[in-house]
Amino acid sequence: MSKHSCETQLIGFTQEIADSLDQGQQTDVVFMDFSKTFDKVDHHKLVHKLQTQTHWVNPYMYITKWITDFLHNRS
């Protein structure tokens, strides 16, 4: 959420999980830490590999696009 602090976002996220649990709903969460993840790999090679490894990426092509957009113009 833009223009919100990390603390505000964490409180909101925690509340959403608590509400889901109270309603008996399933809650799935994926955490990704990109702080240094891509510092040691060639971005073009990584994107190419993601695009060609369709046996696991195909159902999740939006993830490949998201990572590609994230890496765009980063060094």
Q: How many CA atoms lie within 13 A of 1 on its CB side?
A: 10
Of 66, 22, 63, the C-alpha closest to 14 is: 22
Question: What is the rounded (10 degree) CA torsion for 52, 67, 20, 15?
Answer: 170
Q: Using 50, 70 and 90 to split pLDDT, how confident is the model at 56?
A: low
pLDDT reading at 46 higher than 60: yes
pLDDT tens readout for residues 15-44: 999 999 999 998 888 777 766 767 778 888
Cα angle value 65/47/54 (rounded, 5°): 75
Total count of domains within the chain = 2
- pTM reported for the whole predicted model: 0.42
* C-beta of residue 72 within 8 angstroms of C-beta of residue 64: no
Query: Do 44 and 74 have their domain in common?
Result: yes
Query: Do 36 and 67 have their domain in common?
Result: yes
* Full domain range(s) for residue 1: 1-30
